[in-house]
Chains A and B, each alone.
Chain A
Amino acid sequence: QKEVEQDPGPLSVPEGAIVSLNCTYSNSAFQYFMWYRQYSRKGPELLMYTYSSGNKEDGRFTAQVDKSSKYISLFIRDSQPSDSATYLCAMKNSGYSTLTFGKGTMLLVSP
């Protein structure tokens, strides 16, 4: 079983839709969870950073962590064509420097 599983997509939605992106993981020691957005031919850009379980909201983006289920989500409200990108989840243990990444989900938002 891979440490972090993420559906590669592509996920196609119409403009204005609510998007749900998800990752599952197997290592119960993960405590810090990140979502990155990556446009084509660019580096990943940090979108959300959360610690432990719960929700965090930033504008149209909400990150949700459920440690009991080893499941994290990123919700995008009122999706825009400019949200079309690959979304990578990443996570780490406390005190560890390195991250474990999902393979990324490609999102396509059509006008």
Chain B
Amino acid sequence: DGGITQSPKYLFRKEGQNVTLSCEQNLNHDAMYWYRQDPGQGLRLIYYSQIVNDFQKGDIAEGYSVSREKKESFPLTVTSAQKNPTAFYLCASTLTGSRDNQPQHFGDGTRLSIL
């Protein structure tokens, strides 16, 4: 079955530690996105990538980093510079180019907490 897989489902971070959240898709989608969801705040865009080896900052990129070395994979690193990392992190993907204006599809998220 095609879909978006996020792992792990739950993650704990110690003070001063970087942690990496995995997002893999087998939908052959071009673009991938990372969102952060906090209670009462909706989804806020962290980073997105429309093509391999290229990515753009979203609205809240500070304290986060990404890479896009493969079309299928878009890992997100939450660095120690992110002082309030506790949130639900969602990865999404979609088609672009001539098939533009397609909706985004989401994984089931990773819940990150501070120890």
Contact = CB atoms under 8 A, between A and B. Distances in A.
Nearest to B44: A101
Contacts of A102: 42
A102 B45 CA distance: 13
- Chain A interface: which size bin? 20 to 34
B25 interface: no
SS of B interface (majority): strand
A-B interface, 10 closest residue pairs, ranked by CB to CB distance from nearest: A43-B106, A103-B42, A43-B108, A101-B43, A49-B103, A44-B106, A101-B42, A43-B109, A43-B107, A34-B103
Contact of A103 (B41, B58, B96): B41
B42 A97 contact: no
A63 B10 CA distance: 34
B66 to A, nearest CB: 15
A44 B91 CA distance: 10
Interface string B77-115: 000000000001010001010001101111111010000
Interface string A60-99: 0000000000000000000000000000101010110111
7 contacts: A8-B40, A32-B101, A32-B103, A41-B88, A43-B107, A90-B104, A101-B42
Contact of B101 (A44, A46, A94, A101): A94
A46 B42 contact: no
A40 B101 CA distance: 28
B43 A97 contact: no
